[in-house]
Amino acid sequence: MQTTADAITKPPGVIDSLQRGFLLINRHLWLLLIPLFVDVLVWRSPRFSLAHLIERAINLLFERPDLPAELAANSATYIEPVRRLGAAFNLLSFLGGTITGMPSFMARADSSLALTSPVPTVMLESVQQILLYTVVLIPIGLIFGSIWLALMAKLIKPETIDWQHAVRRAGWIWLNTGLYLLILIVAVVSAAGLFSLFAAMFMAIAGIGGLSIMGFVQIIFAFGLVWLGVGLTFVVSAISLDGVNVARAIWRSINVVGRNVTSTLGLLLLMLVITEGFAQIWLRLSSFNWGVIVGILGNSYLGTALMAATFLFYQGRYQHWQQVRKSVASARQQGADETASR
């Protein structure tokens, strides 16, 4: 009696999922409208820059007379990346939907640096301003992203999601992706705080000799965060396709990834190569206005197709897992019945 996963129809592989994702978008190019609208809006609107605030923070931290000599000597190593980020980051990039996965070429920090056409800039001068704009922009960006995800979910599961249901699903996605983002922020801040506290206590005990050990601990900590991020790959897919809450979506994502580690890593790596490879082309063209348009169009098309492929990959792997569970449970029940009848 076959009760193993080998008796179940195999789900689509990585390449098959990518191919089906691109075919789906080729038949429904109107799915690009929302990412295109958001990107053009960010492109043509004034930039909301943190450059002045970050410069003040750098001066406050690194231009003190009591700054240790070793830290002062290496300060440029820490300052320049932060200064470049402050110059490139545009707070309006939050309209890109943050964790929804909606593609946004203009949300990339390096795209802002590549632009040569003059853009009006609004310099934010206080933390209160940043918090206010962030609280306003992130929910609006999640609205755009949630509608986009709900429309894609309708195309992938037309038998269970009609147009009326798609509207409700968009609201559900908005609520749960917002909760998911809040959970991630709290988790990251808490983990960073605990790690900093541990590092400070350890360095107070071990002194300068503990620097090498702390470097090793940092590598392990970063490695753990990367694996956690991989485990959460399909949270948004589960919320959008299955209509489950964020807790169940996290559970399903971790289970699907855990049962398909190699193929999931292959999917993520291939998507990264495609996205970043073409991004370098878009960035080189961005010195011209027509190049920015090409970049926005190309990035929206690729990002939407890759998100569709992610949905299809998750759907196939999750259904496969459920089929295996039902098959094993049925076989066990049948075996128990046969034993009882003897």
- 106: DSSP letter: T
Q: Is the pLDDT of residue 42 over 50?
A: yes
66 found inside a domain = no
Residue 4, in any domain of the structure: no
Residue 165's contacts (CB-CB under 8 Å, 6 or more residues apart) are 154
Quickly count: other Cβ atoms within 10 Å of residue 17's Cβ.
25
What is the structure's pLDDT at 37? 95
Predicted local confidence at residue 74, as pLDDT: 60
Most confident of 44-58, 98-112, 231-245: 231-245
Residue 275 lies in a domain: yes
pLDDT of residue 135: 92
Q: How many domains does the chain have?
A: 1
Backbone φ and ψ for 158, nearest 5 degrees, come out as -65, -20
What are 299's two structure tokens? 């990035």
Q: Identify whether 316 is part of a domain.
A: yes
Give the pLDDT confidence score for residue 3 in this predicted structure.
Answer: 47
Residue 72 lies in a domain: no
Task: Report the half-sphere exposure of 52 (CA within 13 A, side-chain side).
Answer: 11
Asked if residue 213 belongs to a domain, the reply is yes
- Give the pLDDT band of residue 55 (cuts 50, 70, 90): confident
pLDDT digits (tens, 9 = 90+) for 222-260: 888 888 899 999 999 999 999 999 999 999 999 999 999
Domain boundaries, position 261: 12-50+89-330
What's the mean pLDDT in 101-106? 90
Instruction: Note the pLDDT of residue 19.
Output: 96
Q: Is residue 105 part of a domain?
A: yes
Q: Taken in order 275, 277, 281, 287, is the CA torsion positive or negative?
A: positive
Dump pLDDT digits (tens) for 269-328.
Answer: 999 999 999 998 988 888 788 888 999 999 999 999 999 999 999 999 999 888 888 888
Please work out, in degrees rounded to the nearest 5, the angle formed at the alpha carbon of residue 50 by the alpha carbons of 121 and 88. 75
> 120: which residues sit within 8 A by CB, 6+ positions away?
46, 47
Asked, for residue 55, whether it belongs to a domain, the answer is no
